[in-house]
Each structure stands twice: as C-alpha cells, then as structure tokens.
C-alpha cells in the first residue's frame, strides 16, 4: 500500500472534462493470459465458461492482457487467445514473461515488452496497450518509471492502466490454499464475498475519482483469467448493473480523457490504480485504495464467511 506524502508533487496537466454521463461506466479487463491452474476448473473449461459468460452478459468487448512466453506452458493456450479475439475481445501486452519491474534492469524489462509486442502485433484484435505486471510502474525509482514511459512512447504503446481493483487474485489464491488444506468452502458465501468486494471497490474508486476530478471517468476493472473470477463473473456483472453501472468496451474506456494522466502523473511511488495515483498527486488523504486490497482484511472475511472459521 502507498503511504501519504508530506510534500505534494506538481500536478499533471488537466485534460478537458467533457460531458459526464448519468450512469457509471466500466470496462472489464483480464490479466495473466494464460493463467495457472486454479482450484476448480481445467484451463479449457475455464476459458470456455469465461467466453460464454461474456456472451450471455452482453459484454461486446473485454480486454485480455497476454504473456506470450507462457503460452507454451498451457496446452491450447494459443487457441484460447485466438478464441477471445474471435469473440470480438481485444488483446494487449502484459510483457512476455510477467516480470516485476523492480527486479530487472530497464533494458531487460523493455526487451520483455518488445518480445510480447512482436507476437501480439500480428493478431486480430491487437491493441497498443501495455499493462505493468503487479501494476508496478517503478515504485520509488523515478529513472525506471520515466525510462519505461519513454520506451512506451517510442513504440506507440500506451499505459493499459486500471482504475478499479479488488484483488481478485487473492480470492483465487485463498481458494487454492483452502482446497490444499482440505477445508470445505461455502461457495454461496464465497460468491457473495467476491461480488460484494468488487462492487464496493467500484463504488469506492468512483467516489475517489469524483473527489479528485470532479467527475466520474470511464473506469477499467482489473480481473484475472482465474477460476473464482470466471465462476462469479456473471453474478458480478449483474450486481454492477443493479448499482447503475454500464459495462462498456475497453476501447471506450481508454478513449476517456482520464487516460492522459497515465503518462504524466508524478507521485513518490508509482504502483497501483491510476485513480489512486491521481488522488495522491492532488493531495487527497489516505486511504486511496479499497479496504479489502489489504489482504489481511480480505483473508479475515474469507475465513469467517467462506470457511466459517471463528476469529482467534
């Protein structure tokens, strides 16, 4: 989590606001394609359910952020990517091997981006968007932050930022650990916790954006190609729509003027949602993240509600 900073950095230029729609808009994006095995589904089954759920919900276009070098580790992985594109979804760069920027030199990190982009740029549905693994844009290493920004600009790539995050990866990992530990999971309670957390996160980050910008931007939700996410996705979409959200295309979301901040914000540590970064830059106090992104709090809720374990 990012801590408050005593000295506020200079503000980024203000993009034109444009009209603010009455409804709240959000695009769905999925990271780590191909994702490792989860607790409940085979990879082929998971991809098929995800595609069918998006069709059933009327989601015309989601974005899938691909790690091409991992595709050889999953039988049928390349075909899954092609199937997503055939359904009208778009494909973008998440590096070739999913490294953490803090663990590599700038040169090696950019080379990993280039490997992925060379493969992806040949595909139907490709978009010139790059999403940082772990949402790590350099943390407090300004030279790395600015170096990657410059490299992306030289390549015509833009930041595939997110504005809403509820750590769906945590719930997948919690399910795997529970299964390995022989615990019984209350799947109805699990669904309710997952959906509740993601809707609450959308509402929280929208409120934060309104406080920072004076309007609701087109939002981008971070999800993963994970068992739990896929199983509960239809319920999540229904719950979002019940709260006044409209699921939009990734193309529409990244066309919002809010995207300008992704290459210009200046905070003491660069990691997390773009909503958080802009709020921090503008001096809004912490917390600037949804409470259950603290995985200790999320774990407490999972153990109490899904495993029905009493708190110690």
Report the CATH number at residue 256: 3.20.20.370
Q: What is the mean pLDDT of the chain?
A: 93
Report pLDDT for 174: 98
Compute the half-sphere exposure of residue 76: CA atoms within 13 Å on the CB side of its CA. 12
Residue 75 located in a structural domain: yes
- The total of structural domains in the chain comes to 1
Report pLDDT for 16: 36
Model pTM score: 0.92
What residue numbers bound the domain in which 182 lies? 24-306
Ranges of the chain with pLDDT below 50: 1-21
Contact 311, 19 (CB under 8 A): no
Percent of the chain with pLDDT over 90: 89
Residue 75's alpha-carbon distances to 34, 53, 93, 113, in angstroms, are 10, 22, 20, 23
Residue 10 located in a structural domain: no
Percent of the chain with pLDDT over 70: 92
Report pLDDT for 75: 80
Residue 5 located in a structural domain: no
Report pLDDT for 72: 84
Report pLDDT for 179: 97
Largest CA distance in the chain: 54
Report pLDDT for 267: 98
Report pLDDT for 1: 29
Residue 12 located in a structural domain: no
């Amino acid at each position: 989590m990012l801590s408050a900073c005593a000295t506020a950095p200079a503000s980024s230029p203000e993009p034109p606001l444009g009209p603010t729609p009455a409804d709240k808009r959000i695009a769905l994006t999925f990271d780590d394609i191909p994702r490792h095995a989860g607790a409940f589904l085979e990879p082929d089954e998971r991809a098929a359910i995800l595609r069918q759920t998006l069709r059933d919900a009327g989601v015309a276009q989601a974005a899938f952020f691909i790690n091409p070098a991992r595709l050889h580790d999953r039988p049928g992985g390349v075909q899954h990517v092609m199937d997503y594109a055939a359904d009208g979804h778009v494909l973008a760069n998440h590096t070739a091997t999913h490294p953490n920027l803090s663990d590599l030199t700038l040169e090696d990190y950019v080379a990993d981006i280039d490997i992925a982009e060379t493969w992806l740029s040949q595909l139907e549905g490709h978009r010139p968007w790059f999403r940082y693994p772990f949402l790590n844009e350099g943390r407090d290493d300004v030279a790395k932050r600015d170096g990657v920004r410059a490299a992306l600009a030289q390549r015509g790539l833009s930041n595939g930022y997110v504005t809403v995050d509820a750590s769906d990866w945590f719930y997948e990992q919690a399910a795997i650990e529970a299964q390995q530990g022989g615990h019984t999971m209350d799947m109805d309670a699990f669904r309710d916790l997952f959906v509740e957390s993601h809707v609450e996160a959308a509402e929280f980050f929208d409120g934060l954006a309104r406080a920072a910008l004076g309007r609701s931007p087109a939002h981008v939700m971070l999800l993963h190609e994970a068992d739990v996410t896929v199983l509960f996705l239809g319920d999540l979409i229904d719950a979002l729509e019940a709260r006044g959200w409209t699921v939009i295309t990734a193309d529409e979301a990244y066309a919002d003027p809010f995207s300008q901040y992704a290459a210009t914000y200046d905070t003491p540590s660069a990691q997390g949602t773009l909503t958080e970064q802009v709020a921090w830059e503008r001096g809004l106090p912490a917390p600037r993240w949804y409470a259950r992104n603290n995985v200790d709090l999320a774990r407490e809720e999972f153990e109490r509600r899904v495993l029905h374990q009493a708190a110690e």
